[in-house]
């Protein structure tokens, strides 16, 4: 009897020991994660350049009836002003600009505005019916007027990335008098045609790599119209496979993990603000993505009244290089230029930042600064 009790204790000890070890390891990892998160979540914006010049600040301004956040940086406040419109909808990009050292603040006073329902401008009380292209255009104009008044400028530059190019293209078309020029990277052009190119890229890449399961999933879809977006988890597959085959956010980022790490290690946001970055991506994407899907700039915006500069990654299969060039060729504008980034996918300013900065300094600004 005594022996049986001893055996039971030994068995119990053997069972419990690995469980206890596992709990301790998980707890330790969780504590390390929390420590890292709070260390990199001061919420303070500091200049990323050396020397005691210029300024960097995070501010909140009432725009369109709600408080909206933005980060403004400049090495010299007398520089021309640039308003950056992030992608998504809902995907803020300040952390990426800092990670990849793009250096826009060398040439501009840069406003990284985080749009209604996104990042610093997200709150759960935003009315869903206010999340429209019309409202975002109005918000953009209001931010522009704020920047013009604050920095005593008659006009500013505007730059969009991905979804931000669709927003920016409509903004300059309706309000050309407010802007010197438009710069687009990862230009949205036509949702239906772009999606067919993206689909063909994923399928051909899957065949080249012998990914039979991916091939089977893609071949089961009907891509003849926008029904593709309502089939299964197409958007999830699209995100996964475009990244996997090197046509997504950058050629090197092959999953969402490095993308989320950009936010995790950016000290400009508090923990709560980082949670809002994630919430804002879901909120804005759910309510605004249909504008990208249904876009057709050939029909809607065949001309612009201000100079247009388009930056395109040769391997972009998020919005597609070929359509960006075709739209550039068709566009009627007083001045236009198209720049191919041979080693980039969807984000040429992050993938080839030195070339991007060189084009800004040597090709674009000389047209406006004598």
The active-site residue, picked from 161, 170, 173, 346, is: 346
Q: Which of 173, 180, 316, 347 is catalytic?
A: 316
Name the band, by pLDDT with cuts 50, 70 and 90, for residue 5.
low
Q: What is the DSSP letter of 95?
A: H
Helix (H), strand (E) at residue 183: strand 179-185
Phi and psi of 123, rounded to 5°?
-150, 150
pLDDT band at 259 (very low <50, low <70, confident <90, very high): confident
pTM score, whole prediction: 0.91
Highest mean pLDDT among 37-46, 87-96, 224-233: 87-96
DSSP three-state, residue 117: coil
The answer to whether the beta carbons of residues 239 and 346 sit under 8 Å apart is: no
pLDDT tens digits, one per residue of 177-226: 999 999 999 999 999 999 999 999 999 999 999 999 999 999 988 877 66
∠ CA 80-81-84, nearest 5°, is 140
| Torsion 296-298-299-303 (CA) sign | positive
| 316 assigned to active site | yes
* Whether residue 346 lies in the annotated active site: yes
- Cβ–Cβ contacts within 10 Å for residue 51, how many? 7
The CA-based dihedral angle spanning residues 89, 95, 96, 100, taken in that order and rounded to the nearest 10 degrees: 170
- If you search the block for the tokens 């597609």, which residue do you land on? 320
Q: What is the pLDDT of residue 32?
A: 58
The pLDDT value recorded for residue 236 is 85
Q: Is the peptide bond before 339 cis (omega within 30 degrees of 0)?
A: no
Question: Residue 39's pLDDT is what?
Answer: 67
Dist. CA 39–CA 46, nearest whole Å: 15
Note whether 45 and 120 are within 8 A (CB): no
The average pLDDT across 222-249 equals: 82
Determine which one of 74, 118, 121, 162 is catalytic.
162
Q: Residue 139: which of 65, 59, 233, 220 has the closest Cα? A: 65
The distance between the two most distant Cα atoms of the chain, rounded to a whole number of Å, is 98
In the numeric block, which tokens belong to residue 19? Answer: 């469980």
Q: pLDDT digit string (tens) for 100-128?
A: 999 999 999 999 999 999 999 999 999 99
Cα–chain center distance at 254: 16
- Name all domains of the chain by residue range, CATH numbers in brackets: 55-191+258-367 (3.40.50.1820)
Phi, psi of 155 (to 5 degrees): -140, 160
Please report, rounded to a whole number, the percentage of residues in the chain having pLDDT higher than 90. 76
Distance of CA 191 to the CA centre of its chain: 17
Q: For residues 308 and 181, is the Cβ–Cβ distance under 8 A?
A: yes
């Amino acid at each position: 009897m005594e022996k049986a009790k001893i055996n039971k204790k030994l068995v119990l000890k053997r069972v419990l020991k690995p469980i206890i070890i596992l709990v301790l390891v998980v707890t330790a990892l969780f504590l390390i994660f929390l420590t890292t998160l709070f260390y990199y979540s001061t919420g303070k914006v500091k200049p990323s350049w050396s020397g005691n010049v210029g300024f960097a600040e995070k501010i909140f301004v009432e725009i369109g009836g709600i408080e909206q956040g933005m980060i403004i940086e400049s090495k010299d406040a007398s520089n021309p002003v640039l308003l950056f419109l992030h992608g998504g909808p809902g995907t803020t990009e300040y952390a990426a600009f800092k990670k990849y050292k793009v250096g826009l603040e060398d040439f501009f006073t840069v406003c990284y505005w985080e749009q209604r329902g996104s990042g610093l401008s997200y709150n759960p009380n935003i009315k869903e019916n206010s999340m429209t292209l019309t409202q975002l255009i109005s918000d953009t104009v209001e931010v522009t007027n704020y920047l013009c008044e604050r920095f005593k400028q008659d006009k500013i530059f505007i730059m969009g990335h991905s979804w931000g190019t669709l927003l920016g293209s409509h903004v300059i078309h309706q309000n050309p008098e407010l802007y010197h020029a438009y710069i687009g990277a990862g230009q949205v052009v036509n949702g239906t045609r772009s999606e067919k190119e993206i689909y063909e890229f994923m399928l051909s890449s899957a065949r080249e790599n012998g990914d039979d399961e991916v091939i089977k999933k893609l071949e089961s879809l009907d891509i003849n119209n926008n029904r593709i977006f309502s089939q299964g988890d197409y958007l999830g597959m699209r995100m996964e496979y475009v990244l996997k085959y090197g046509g997504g956010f950058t050629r090197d980022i092959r999953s969402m993990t490095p993308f989320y790490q950009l936010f995790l290690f950016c000290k400009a946001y508090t923990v709560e603000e980082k949670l809002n970055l994630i919430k804002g991506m879901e909120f804005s994407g759910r309510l605004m993505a249909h504008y990208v899907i249904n876009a057709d700039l050939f029909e809607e915006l065949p001309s612009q009244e201000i100079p247009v500069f388009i930056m395109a990654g040769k391997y972009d299969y998020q919005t597609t290089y070929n359509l960006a060039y075709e739209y550039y060729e068709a566009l009627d504008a007083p001045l236009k230029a198209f720049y191919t980034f041979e080693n980039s996918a969807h984000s040429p300013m992050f993938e080839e930042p030195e070339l991007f900065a060189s084009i800004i300094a040597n090709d674009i600004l000389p047209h406006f600064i004598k």
